[in-house]
């Protein structure tokens, strides 16, 4: 091949890249240059220079540049303008796609935001992967999450382990802070000296608490949270060194933590917890502290687990009375914080992902319909010289425009939804849910999802639609064909079936959760919640050191509150139902017989110290015996009331009245172990939520065991909230240094107790509703289009004598077949998928037949309604007009 021919070959090979209108000039220019070079060489009687061959390669770059330059201009102006015009001409189509996409993307971004906050974003501590919780567990379930530790066990864990750089303990509570403003109850934690070393967080001001601070006899100090420091002390830089009255002790402020430090969640102050030698000797059975630790950089989680099991086994051998059945579990801190909700969060993400999938399928079928509808336009453009690439680019840009619009609107929805999620109270049972933000990760996720959704699902069918090979058939088809292309019909049918399937899965999930929730609501909690206001009062140990002082304080408080004309009745309890308050103590003797260790462990009772009118105020029935009387007080014979479950557990079928029972503690008050003769049997109360059976409960008379705190319940003659201010005034009159806190109505507590399942149901149900709507839109769209395509065919049928009812039936049958297929596959898929919900369901099996039947029938009805409109239109076609139809 001569040099000139080679160059020409390259030019011809590259030419198709050059935009069509300048291709001839481009070829002419390059050929002329090569010809000139060849002519000059010939004139000099030399061969064509070798550089010509490399110059020919430059033609490739030139052609590519021309193509890009043209696309750039065209893309920015022509195509966008053209696409926008096209989209605005079909506002129904555009609005449907944009809204559909926005719902899918907005929902996904919001749920992903929540998942990101709860499960994915690193905890805000240094090397958070090294942080673990250590639990004292039972040999039966050695790896469970949860299990507080006793101080002596903690000291042994800390001393004997080989896996951790440090181990620390904390106990959460709330402490009254007085002076510098109104008395206030501040949530906080008592911590051991190693706490801040484990968390590895430096203070914003001053210093943190160290090992020197938790020794008995050390100065009383406190570290404040950033929130407390700014809220109560106005960010006073001179705070360090000041003395504050906390929990009845004067404590020196030694430091302020940065705003980012929140551990334990919601803590606003940290004080050292001091174990004296006697605590460490006697408290091995008293489990009330939480243990955290930091893994050594080289230690693995598995090694740490084995290490702790070894330590626990040694303690079990050494202290069989308290540790016989005990083991120790190590879990990453994140797992400990959010392990319980991980599964439901991923189910939610999966559900919202299904919605997005439906959105994509819907968009695919809508774009397909539109592309086919534009078939003639595309075919004509192809016929007058537009390449497939050009046509495809148009559709691509259209999809991108829809994607951008849908993504933008979706982001607005997501912004609104993440705001709503972040406003949720983490006490609904999803820790850190209030940290949900629309941050860069979430926005990046949204962009990725929207662009991918639009481009993949918008262009896949478009590629098919712009296929040049059937230009001729397309033009012909548009003119005179009577039926549509069966291949495309199949594709549309497949999309409809897929959409129905996905919708069924979501609807079954929502149905199961809905039925489960209804059963949860129907549970009898054992008390009434209407018009009851509650709040908590804690007396400081220094000012109210004597039991009689406390007894007198609460007696007076109850009497004064009861004197308020708006109050129907008032009572008190050391811990209310549905507040996650658990105070379990093992029974030591029944009817004078001391129980064996095994029997004691098996008979742990929830202890509630209540005032006489507690049962009346809460509407808790006393079917046998009596409630406490004002005369049941210190000095009188000790009496107890058991609930029905405890009565059955302890005395089986024997009437418990008059029998005697004691628990293994003096409640810190000296004297004999708490307990007494049974004077009444109370109805069961679901202390731990509607889904958890009532625990065996022992009620003691507060006046016989006056501890330092009570939660007051006051039943109002009107609105519960109307009592708050008068009662606050009463308390202030009695002692201005005693704060009123945890002010909540009983109805709020009940509502909180079902907040998590309600939220879950609400989310899944809204996804399912959206899915059903989208499936209906999709079905309607496809059928309406199919009827439009078959106008001529149907016209011929009618002209040949087909009855309108038959046409109606024909279209409905087509729709019905698709819907039935989708529903059948969907029910099967739901039976598999609903297993993921098992832990969320209350008294409902994941395979609940009723739900499946209702969803199946319901969706079929929706499908029939959606297809009725196009079917009716088909049956009303005028045969004459149809035959003239283009």
Partner 1 sequence: MRKLSITAVCVLQAIAGGFQYGFDIIDQTGLPSGTVYPALGRLERDGLVKSAWESEHDAHADGRPARRYYKLTAPGVKALSESAAFYRSLLPAGKPRTARG
Tell me how far, at minimum, the Cβ of 39 lies from partner 1, in Å.
5
Residue 465: exposure state from Cβ atoms within 10 A (0-12, 13-18, ≥19): buried
CB nearer partner 1, residue 54 or residue 596: 54
Asked if 75 is part of the footprint of partner 1 (rule: CB under 8 A), the reply reads no
Stretch that binds partner 1, among 57-65, 572-580, 687-695, 871-879 (CB under 8 A): 57-65
By CB under 8 A, is residue 37 in contact with partner 1?
A: yes
Q: List Cα–Cα distances, 111 to 97, 335, 760, in angstroms.
A: 21, 19, 12
Interface map 467-506 toward partner 1 (x if CB under 8 A): ----------------------------------------
Q: Which stretch binds partner 1 (CB under 8 A): 21-29, 84-92, 110-118, 552-560?
A: 21-29
- Give me the least distance between CB of 69 and partner 1, in Å please: 7
Shortest distance (Å) from residue 78 CB to partner 1: 16
| 28 versus 215: smaller Cβ distance to partner 1 | 28
CA distances to 143, 149, 152, 210, 307 from 156, rounded to whole Å, are: 20, 11, 6, 19, 13
35 binds partner 1 per the rule CB under 8 A: yes
Token readout for 591 is 């009817």
Tokens of 598: 């095994």
Piece in contact with partner 1 (CB under 8 A), picked from 55-63, 267-275, 524-532, 692-700: 55-63
Q: Give the one residue of 1, 21, 54, 140 binding partner 1; rule: CB under 8 A.
A: 54
In the complex, the smallest distance separating the C-beta of residue 235 from partner 1, rounded to whole angstroms, is 51
Whole-angstrom Cα distance, residue 856 to residue 647? 47
Tell whether residue 60 is a contact of partner 1 (CB under 8 A): yes
CA 448: distance to chain centroid? 21
Q: Which of 9, 36, 288, 850 binds partner 1 (CB under 8 A)?
A: 36
Output the smallest distance, CB 385 to partner 1, in A.
22
Least Å distance, CB 37 to partner 1, is: 6
Counts of helices then strands in the chain (DSSP H, E) = 28, 22
What is the DSSP secondary structure assignment for residue 715, as one 8-state letter? Answer: E
Binding of partner 1 by 31 (CB under 8 A): yes
Residue 161 vs residues 223, 268, 309, 442: alpha-carbon distances, Å: 28, 30, 10, 40
DSSP characters over 157-219: HHHH-SSEEEEEEEEEEEEEEESSSS-EEEEEEEE-TTHHHHHT---SEE----GGGGSTTSP
Output phi, psi for 848, to 5 deg: -50, 110
**Residue closer to partner 1, measured from CB, 30 or 263:** 30
Q: Measured between alpha carbons, how far is 712 from 536 in angstroms, rounded to an integer?
A: 6
If one asks whether residue 342 binds partner 1 (CB under 8 A), the answer comes out as: no
Binding of partner 1 by 13 (CB under 8 A): no
Pick the stretch among 24-32, 87-95, 606-614, 716-724 that binds partner 1 (CB under 8 A): 24-32
Q: Does 25 bind partner 1 (CB under 8 A)?
A: yes
Task: Based on the shown chain and the rule CB under 8 A, indicate whether residue 76 belongs to the binding site for partner 1.
Answer: no
Output the smallest distance, CB 426 to partner 1, in A. Answer: 56
* Least distance between partner 1 and beta carbon 34 (Å): 8
Site for partner 1 in 247-266 (CB under 8 A): none
| Cβ 450 to partner 1 shortest distance, Å | 34
CB of 51 vs partner 1, minimal distance in Å: 9
Q: How far is the CB of 71 from partner 1 (least distance, A)?
A: 14
For residue 257, give the 3-state DSSP assignment.
coil
CB of 387 to partner 1, least distance (A): 20
Stretch that binds partner 1, among 54-62, 265-273, 508-516, 571-579 (CB under 8 A): 54-62
Residue 128 makes CB contacts below 8 A (sequence gap 6+) with 122, 333, 334
Among 28, 81, 314, 884, the residue binding partner 1 under the rule CB under 8 A is: 28
| SS3 state of residue 660 | strand
For residue 143, count other CB atoms closer than 10 A to its CB: 12
Q: How far is the CB of 24 from partner 1 (least distance, A)?
A: 12
> For the purposes of burial, counting CB atoms within 10 Å of the CB of 431, is it exposed (0-12), middle (13-18) or buried (19 or more)?
buried
Nearer of residues 65 and 850 to partner 1, judged by Cβ: 65
State the Cα–Cα distance between residues 790 and 622, nearest whole angstrom.
75
**62 binds partner 1 per the rule CB under 8 A:** yes
The Cα 133–Cα 126 span in angstroms is: 16
Please report whether residue 669 would count as binding partner 1 according to CB under 8 A: no
Looking at beta carbons only, is 48 or 197 nearer to partner 1? 48
Q: How far is the CB of 772 from partner 1 (least distance, A)?
A: 54
Least distance in angstroms from the C-beta of 66 to partner 1: 6
Is there binding between residue 47 and partner 1 (CB under 8 A)?
no
Spatial contact of 146 and 135, defined as CB atoms under 8 Å apart:
yes
Opening angle at CA 508, ends 361 and 95, nearest 5: 35
Q: For residue 19, what is the DSSP state?
A: -
DSSP state letter for 261: -
Q: How far is the CB of 403 from partner 1 (least distance, A)?
A: 30
Task: Work out how close the CB of 108 gets to partner 1 at its nearest, in angstroms, rounded to a whole number.
Answer: 42
- Shortest gap between Cβ of 55 and partner 1 (angstroms)? 4
Of the two residues 29 and 843, which places its CB atom closer to partner 1 in the complex? 29
Number of residues that bind partner 1 (CB under 8 A): 22
Q: Which stretch binds partner 1 (CB under 8 A): 51-59, 296-304, 327-335, 421-429?
A: 51-59
- Exposed, middle or buried by CB within 10 Å (0-12, 13-18, 19+), for 332? middle
The region of 63-71, 297-305, 747-755, 764-772 touching partner 1 under the rule CB under 8 A is 63-71
Map the footprint of partner 1 across residues 280-299, applying CB under 8 A.
Answer: none
- The correct pick among 12, 20, 24, 58 for binding partner 1 (CB under 8 A) is 58
655-688 burial, b at 16+ Cβ within 10 Å, e below that, comes to: ebbebbbbbbbebeeeeeebbbebbbbbbbbbbb
Residue 39 binds partner 1 (CB under 8 A): yes
In the list 6, 41, 55, 485, the residue contacting partner 1 (rule: CB under 8 A) is 55
Is 597 a binding residue for partner 1 by CB under 8 A? The answer is no
Binders of partner 1 among 640-659, rule CB under 8 A? none
Per CB under 8 A, the list member of 29, 524, 597, 672 interacting with partner 1 is 29
Stretch that binds partner 1, among 23-31, 463-471, 553-561, 681-689 (CB under 8 A): 23-31
3-state secondary structure (DSSP) of residue 774: helix
461-to-367, 389, 500, 739, 835 alpha-carbon distances in Å: 7, 15, 20, 68, 35
Tokens of 370: 């539109």
Instruction: By CB under 8 A, tell whether 67 contacts partner 1.
Output: no
Give me the DSSP letters along 610-642: E-TTHHHHHT----EE----TT-STTSPPEEEE
Q: Which residue number, 2 or 847, has a Cβ lying nearer to partner 1? A: 2
546 binding partner 1? (CB under 8 A): no
Helix (H, G, I), strand (E, B) or coil at 662: strand
| Alpha-carbon distances, residue 708 vs 143, 183, 558, 667 (angstroms) | 36, 17, 15, 11
Contacts of 212 (CB under 8 A, 6+ apart): 193, 218
Q: Interface with partner 1 by CB under 8 A: which residues?
A: 25, 28-29, 31-33, 35-39, 54-55, 57-62, 65-66, 69
């Amino acid at each position: 091949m001569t040099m000139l021919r080679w160059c020409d070959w390259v030019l011809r090979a590259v030419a198709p890249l050059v935009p069509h209108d300048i291709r001839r000039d481009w070829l002419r220019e390059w050929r002329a240059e090569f010809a000139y070079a060849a002519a000059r060489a010939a004139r000099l009687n030399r061969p064509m220079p070798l550089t010509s061959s490399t110059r020919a390669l430059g033609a490739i770059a030139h052609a590519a540049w021309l193509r890009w330059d043209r696309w750039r201009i065209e893309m920015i102006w022509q195509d966008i303008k053209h696409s926008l015009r096209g989209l605005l001409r079909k506002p129904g189509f555009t609005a449907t796609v944009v809204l559909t996409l926005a719902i899918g993307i907005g929902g996904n971004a919001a749920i992903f935001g929540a998942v990101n906050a709860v499960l994915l974003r690193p905890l805000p501590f240094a090397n958070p992967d090294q942080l673990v919780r250590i639990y004292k567990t039972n040999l039966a379930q050695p790896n469970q999450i949860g299990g507080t530790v006793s101080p002596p066990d903690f000291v042994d864990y800390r001393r004997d382990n080989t896996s951790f750089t440090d181990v620390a303990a904390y106990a959460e509570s709330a402490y009254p802070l007085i002076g510098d403003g109104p008395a206030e109850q501040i949530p906080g934690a008592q911590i051991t000296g190693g706490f801040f070393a484990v968390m590895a967080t430096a203070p914003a001001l001053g210093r943190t608490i160290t090992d020197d601070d938790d020794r008995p006899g050390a100065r009383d100090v406190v570290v404040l949270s950033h929130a407390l420091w700014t809220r109560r002390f106005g960010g006073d830089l001179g705070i360090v060194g000041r003395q504050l009255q906390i929990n009845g002790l004067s404590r020196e402020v030694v430091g302020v933590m940065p705003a980012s430090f929140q551990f334990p969640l919601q803590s606003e102050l940290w004080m050292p917890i001091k174990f004296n030698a006697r605590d460490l000797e006697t408290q091995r059975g008293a489990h009330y502290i939480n243990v955290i630790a930091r893994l050594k950089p080289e230690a693995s989680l598995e090694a740490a687990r084995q290490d702790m099991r070894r330590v626990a086994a040694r303690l079990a051998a050494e202290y069989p009375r308290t540790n016989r059945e005990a083991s120790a579990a190590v879990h990453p801190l994140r797992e400990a914080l959010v392990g319980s909700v991980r599964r439901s969060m991923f189910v939610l993400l999966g559900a919202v992902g299904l919605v997005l999938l439906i959105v994509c399928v819907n968009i695919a079928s809508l774009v397909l319909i539109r592309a086919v509808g534009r078939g003639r336009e595309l075919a004509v453009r192809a016929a007058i010289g537009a390449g497939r690439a050009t046509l495809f680019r148009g559709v691509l840009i259209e999809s991108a425009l829809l994607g951008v619009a849908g993504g933008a609107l979706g982001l607005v929805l997501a912004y609104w939804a993440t705001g709503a999620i972040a406003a949720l109270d983490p006490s609904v049972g999803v820790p850190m849910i209030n940290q949900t933000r629309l941050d860069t990760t979430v926005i990046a996720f949204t962009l990725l999802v929207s662009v991918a959704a639009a481009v993949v699902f918008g262009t896949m069918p478009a590629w098919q639609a712009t296929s040049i090979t059937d230009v001729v058939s397309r033009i012909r088809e548009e003119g005179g064909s009577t039926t549509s292309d069966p291949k495309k019909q199949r594709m549309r049918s497949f999309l409809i079936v897929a959409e129905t399937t996905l919708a069924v899965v979501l609807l079954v999930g929502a149905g199961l959760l809905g039925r489960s929730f209804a059963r949860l609501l129907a549970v009898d909690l054992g008390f009434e919640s209407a018009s009851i206001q509650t709040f908590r009062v804690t007396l400081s140990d220094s000012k109210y050191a004597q039991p009689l002082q406390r007894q007198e304080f609460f007696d007076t408080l109850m009497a004064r509150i009861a004197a308020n004309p708006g109050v129907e009745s008032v009572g008190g309890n050391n811990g209310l139902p549905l507040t996650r308050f658990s105070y379990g103590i093992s029974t030591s003797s029944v009817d004078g017989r001391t129980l064996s260790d095994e029997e004691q462990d098996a008979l742990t009772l929830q202890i509630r110290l209540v005032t006489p009118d507690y049962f009346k105020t809460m509407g808790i029935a006393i079917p046998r015996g009596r409630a406490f009387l004002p005369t049941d007080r210190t000095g009188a014979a000790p009496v107890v009331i058991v609930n029905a479950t405890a009565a059955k557990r302890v005395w089986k079928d024997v009437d418990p009245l008059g029998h005697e029972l004691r628990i293994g503690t003096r409640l810190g008050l000296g004297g004999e172990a708490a307990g007494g003769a049974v004077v009444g049997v109370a109805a069961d109360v679901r202390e731990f939520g509607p889904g958890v059976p009532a625990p065996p409960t022992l009620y003691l008379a507060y006046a016989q065991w006056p501890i330092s705190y009570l939660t007051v319940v006051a039943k109002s003659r009107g609105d519960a909230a109307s009592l708050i201010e008068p009662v606050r005034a009463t308390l202030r009159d009695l002692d201005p240094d005693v704060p009123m806190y945890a002010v909540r109505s009983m109805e709020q507590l009940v509502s909180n107790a079902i907040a998590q399942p309600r939220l879950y149901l609400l989310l899944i149900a809204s996804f399912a509703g959206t899915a059903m709507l989208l499936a209906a839109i999709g079905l309607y769209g496809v059928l309406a289009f199919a009827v439009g395509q078959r106008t001529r065919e149907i016209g011929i049928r009618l002209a040949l004598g087909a009855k309108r009812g038959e046409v109606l039936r024909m279209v409905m049958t087509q729709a019905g077949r698709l819907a039935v297929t989708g529903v059948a596959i969907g029910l099967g898929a739901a039976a598999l998928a609903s297993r993921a919900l098992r832990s969320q369901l209350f008294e409902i099996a994941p395979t609940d037949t009723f739900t499946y039947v209702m969803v199946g029938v319901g969706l079929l009805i929706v499908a029939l309604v959606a297809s009725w409109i196009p079917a009716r239109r088909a049956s009303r076609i005028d045969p004459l007009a149809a035959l003239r139809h283009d």
